[in-house]
Structure 1
Amino acid sequence: MLSEPSTATVRATLPAVGAAIGDIADLFYRKLFEAHPELLRDLFNRGNQASGTQRRALAGSIAAFATQLVEHPDTRPDVMLDRIAHKHASLGVTAAQYDVVHTHLFAAIAEVLGDAVTPEVAAAWDEVYWLMANALIAIEERLYAQQGVVAGDVWRDWVVADRTEETEDVVTFRIRPADGAPAPGFRPGQYVSVQTELPDGARQIRQYSLSCAPGSPLRSITVKRVHGAGAPDGEVSRHLHAHVRPGDLLRVSAPYGDLVLKSSDAPLLLASAGIGCTPVLAMLEHLAETGHRTPVTVVHGDRSPAGHALRADHAALTGKLPDASAHFWYEDPEPGHPADRTGLVDLGGLAIAPGTHAYLCGPLPFMRSVRAQLLAQGVPAADIHYEVFGPDLWLAQD
């Protein structure tokens, strides 16, 4: 909770800071990478930096956290904090790195806002920063302890047991720990980070959902090749597709991620688009293995059947559940595909059972659309959960 003087100062300055937060984030990253080029090389996603998505996500999260502090002082945005903390844990972020961020973030704030940053304003926003940073540090320490790893040392070598070409642009790698020790447990819907050494020596990190159930003897990650206009867009996925074969080693983190099935007998709706189907596959396999019996509605949108990765598994796993149905929409369907399943996902013709918990994964416009449709059908916002691949721009666009 913010102190009373800081609350008044943040409330008064929030419009000005919010209006400038994009410029502040841009300058912050420039200062950070000038002082610590190794962070851009080996920690931050160079593709997200080049596109500006990481800057927008940072700006959105700071603005959302500060707004929460002044408008709802007795609550904390735990969903947002948990999502960020899981991503940080998968990267091995340490408490000391928050000091580095603080130095360059506040230098950027002072430079962008100039004389408006009085000692009182600086102290108030310093309080905001450390409330957010210390909350994240505490969550991340708990996440590290749960996995039995040390902050900054989340990595193990894994051997690629085999690879399967799912579509022209999607490949599944089945992996096992290189040291022969048991694979760490995970919850359906979680992801791992993969650290890849690229030709220029950078050790870039990307997150990939585990597309298998926790009981599987091997772990599976399914990687879609990103066709960017040029480096660094898609540099890791293209490298994995082109160079990784059975017998090769991958550097893989402990599993993290907050989009996980709750232990509940509630009806479920599992909605995905594109490669967002991967955590849904893990959920479906887990539900089948554990004998889930309440209704499950599976929804997926894709450009075409040929581009629908793991399509046969998607349908087959749904079929293993006693009360489940799968509904696939394609923008470019094959002959004979139902007309009411052509184009974008439209839940209007589906009966959503009372008490449904929904899990969404896919591009942000898809998830926004599905969420709006679910809200219109009476599903409470608290029962709609989502996962964003890459920086979370949901808050940045609200």
Structure 2
Amino acid sequence: MLAPDSVRVVRATAATVVRHGERISGRFYDRMFEAHPELLDLFNRGNQANGQQRQALAMSVAAVAGHFAGMKPVPLASIVGRIAHKHASLGVTPSQYVVVGRHLMAAIGEVLGDAATPDVIAAWDEVFWLFACLLVAEESRQYERAGSSFSRPLAPHTVTRVHHDTDDVTSFLLEPDAPVRPHRPGQYVSVAVELPGVGRQIRQYTISSAPDEPSLRITVKRHRAADGRPAGMVSNHLHDTVRVGDRLQVSPAFGDLALPSGDEPLLLASAGVGSTPIVAALRHLAAGAADRPITVVHADRAPETHPLRADMLDAVDLLPGASLALWYERNPVPHNGAHVRSGFVDPDLIDVDPAAHALLCGPLPFMSTVRRALLDRGLPAERIHYEVFGPDAWLGTEVPSRSAS
């Protein structure tokens, strides 16, 4: 809880900090990386270049400050959990929060100038440390559950198979040197690689295999340069250079997108490479011979660009209570028992049980459109779960509930 004086200061300055949020976060990252270039190993340089990481940080700080100051409640436990999972997958250490806090406060001071009085800096420093303490505590719990620690966040795995799903999507089967704890459908792992001329880089990739399968499988989309966005360094490295027998450093499974247990209806909706956690969930359900009602929805450019399409079709065929709806922008191919449509997803055509839990994964516009339609049709917000690839730009917005390149 913020001290009363800090509450007063945060309320008085929140609008100013929000207005300059992206400038503050930009200056923060510039300062921190200049002083600690080794921390670049933990950050997606593509997201730094396109501004997504800066925007996400600005929104997170503003949302949490508003919550602590009693201005606008946010789902704090969910925000803390999501960020803590990501940090634990990277091996973030408690001491790194000291570095972050120092440079964040300095950035606020630089951008706000004379308005950044000692009282203002002290109040926002209190906000940061309240948030940081929550994160450190949750990260410690996540390390313990995963059987890892910030001093040893990654372990060696051997690539046993490489399968090209589409022109831009490849799956890698991985065998750990030592037994690892089972993952939950929807979770991800971090993968670290050494890039020539760059150094170590870490990315997160959703596990596309079921927990009871003998091998761990990740499915990676190649991110090509487009619309001013740089090519994904790690995804292109994996596609172009990693072969059977190679060794990768991989974290335990993390992530808070959980497949609800029980027999309640499910809606599993994905677009593009967002099919990866959905396929993992479907394979898990099929292995357990689940007979609960399941509606599966997927949208893609075309059948030939649909990642893990055969896996999705096969798993749905094994589930007696499952139905499948596919939307393709071009070349829709009929499939036995599936509703195959041309164009973009029309949420009004999605069959939704009012008692269902919904899991959404894909680009933000897709998830936002589907989520809004589900809310309009009466599905409670707490039953709608989602997975974000990249910095979570929904933090602090109406969504109550990770990064690959």
- Aligning the two structures, in what range does the TM-score lie when normalised by the shorter sequence? over 0.9
Secondary structure, aligned partner of 2:386: strand
Q: Counterparts of 1:326-345 in structure 2 under 5 Å?
A: 326-334=324-332, 341-345=341-345
1:184 maps to what in 2?
181
Shift of 1:76: 5.8
Secondary structure, aligned partner of 1:341: strand
Matched, 1:262 2:260: yes
Q: Measure the CA separation in 2 of the matches of 1:290 and 1:366.
A: 30
The alignment of Structure 1 onto Structure 2 pairs a total of residues equal to: 395
1:247 maps to what in 2?
245
Paired letter, 1:203: R
Query: Contact 2:80–2:134 (CA<8 Å) still a contact in 1?
Result: yes
Shift of 1:397: 7.2
Alignment match of 2:192 (pick from 188, 191, 195) = 195
Structure 1 residues 128, 283: closer, same or farther in 2, change over 3 A? same
Q: Measure the CA separation in 2 of the matches of 1:241 and 1:151.
A: 28
Deviating more after overlay: 291-300 vs 303-312: 291-300
Unaligned runs of 5+ in 2: 399-405
Query: Contact 1:46–1:232 (CA<8 Å) still a contact in 2?
Result: no
2:29 maps to what in 1?
29
Shift of 1:376: 1.1
Shift of 1:231: 8.6
- Percent same amino acid at aligned positions? 53
Query: Contact 2:50–2:229 (CA<8 Å) still a contact in 1?
Result: no
Q: Measure the CA separation in 1 of the matches of 2:247 and 2:362.
A: 29
Deviations along 1:8-41, whole A, 9 cap, x unmatched?
111111111111111100000000111011111x
Q: Measure the CA separation in 1 of the matches of 2:73 and 2:58.
A: 23
Matched, 1:319 2:317: yes
1:78 maps to what in 2?
77
Q: Measure the CA separation in 2 of the matches of 1:218 and 1:167.
A: 21
2:107 maps to what in 1?
108
2:365 maps to what in 1?
365
Paired letter, 1:273: A
Structure 1 residues 310, 241: closer, same or farther in 2, change over 3 A? same
TM-score between both structures, scaled by the size of structure 2: 0.93
1:356 maps to what in 2?
356
1:294 maps to what in 2?
292
Query: Contact 1:269–1:359 (CA<8 Å) still a contact in 2?
Result: yes
Shift of 1:286: 1.0
Unaligned runs of 5+ in 1: none
Deviating more after overlay: 305-314 vs 225-234: 225-234
Q: Measure the CA separation in 2 of the matches of 1:124 and 1:396.
A: 20
Paired letter, 2:316: T
Paired letter, 2:275: C
1:387 maps to what in 2?
387
Shift of 1:284: 0.7
Matched, 1:205 2:202: yes
TM-score between both structures, scaled by the size of structure 1: 0.95
Q: Measure the CA separation in 2 of the matches of 1:172 and 1:194.
A: 13
Give me the CA root mean square deviation: 1.9
Paired letter, 1:110: G
Q: Measure the CA separation in 2 of the matches of 1:195 and 1:394.
A: 26
Query: Contact 1:191–1:210 (CA<8 Å) still a contact in 2?
Result: yes
